[in-house]
Amino acid sequence: MKLAAPLVVAFALLSQIQAQEVKRDIPYGEPAHERHVLDVYSPSGAKNLPVVFWIHGGGWQAGDKSSVQTKPQFFMEKGFVFVSTNYRLLPTVEMDVLTRDVAKSLGWVYKNVAKHGGDPQRIFVGGHSAGAQLAALICTDDRYLKAEGVPFSALKGCVPVDGDTYDLPPIIATAEMRAMLYGQPLPTFGHRQKFGNDPKKHLDFSAVTHVAKGKHIPPFLILYVSGHPDTSAQAQRLASVLNASEIPAKAFGVRETTHNKLNADLGLPDDPTTKELSDFVNAALKK
């Protein structure tokens, strides 16, 4: 019996769903907290596959690990295990605690991802917006991952997407100067307050502060909206600091997009940023 076209499509979709395994809300921290959970997306029968560890955005105050759009499917089709994590948020905890949550989650991945078909020695770290700052920081300031037993040698690449806080002092000064020039009130909970009103903390939470030769910092692909002055400047600043320390880094700007659309389009066919991302991970895995 010949199946009708809609049934053929339905069976194909069902087969695709069955060809992957999704395990949600896996706890990674003790004592347990409702935000100490992550999701693991694995192709069926996965074994020793490279891993993508994704950090959601939301201004460090909001967001959820479920906000991954088509990225899990895209990476699984390329032969990756994809992990998306939650972490505690401002103002419930301070920024250093929040960052350690992300490092703890990656520590769980390093120790446990083999059970889900992943290779703990081939991990890519990525994130959007606030997640971009967190990704860049834990891939340059090795104190966070060392505390969780994760060596930088396990990191094969870092992909921050449209972050504006790789170098905090200039972005804080820019926002405050802009407000004063236009007679606007200063932010009441801007970057200065979120990262702690201490210049030393602003430097310490800046990825550029920790870039140095000989640390095994992984290659970077820094994606940004080319029409946005702040994320453009920050992306180019991070790339220049990395390259000056002989760490491969590329800042790739995208026209005719927005902060949220750039992230949502990652994984879509014919998306130029997706092609750039695909080329980046392919090249990193060959090294």
User: Domains of the chain by range and CATH?
Assistant: 20-167+206-286 (3.40.50.1820)
Which residues are CB-contacts of 64 (< 8 A; sequence separation ≥ 6)?
56, 58, 86
Supply the pLDDT for residue 20. 83
- The proportion of the chain whose per-residue pLDDT surpasses 90, expressed as a percent, equals 90
Is pLDDT at 7 greater than 60 in this prediction?
no
Please compute the mean of the pLDDT values over residues 47-70 and round it to a whole number.
98
Identify the pLDDT of residue 31.
85
Tokens (6 digits) for 262? 């750039």
**What pLDDT score was predicted for residue 80?**
98
pLDDT 10s digits, 166-177: 999 999 999 999
What rounded mean pLDDT belongs to the chain?
93
Q: Is the pLDDT of residue 15 over 50?
A: no
Q: Output 214 or 1, whichever has higher pLDDT.
A: 214
Residue 258 in this model has a pLDDT that exceeds 60? yes
Of 120-129, 184-193, 221-230, 251-260, the range with the lowest mean pLDDT is 184-193
Amino acid at position 180, single letter: M
Look at strands 220-225 and 155-161 and give their pairing.
Answer: parallel
Q: Measured between alpha carbons, how far is residue 140 from residues 23, 92, 97, 240, 266 in Å?
A: 29, 25, 17, 14, 24
What is the pLDDT at residue 13? 42
Q: What pLDDT was estimated at residue 287?
A: 87
Higher pLDDT, 108 or 197: 108
Does position 90 have pLDDT exceeding 80, yes or no?
A: yes
Tokens of 244: 């000056």
Over range 90-111, report the average pLDDT.
98
* pTM for the model: 0.93
Give percent above pLDDT 70 in the chain.
Answer: 93
Contact 35, 87 (CB under 8 A): yes
- Comparing 18-27, 157-166, 178-187, which segment has the lowest mean pLDDT? 18-27
pLDDT for residue 19 is more than 90: no
Decide if pLDDT at 89 tops 50.
yes
pLDDT confidence of residue 187: 87
pLDDT at residue 205 greater than cutoff 60: yes
d(CA 234, CA 97): 24
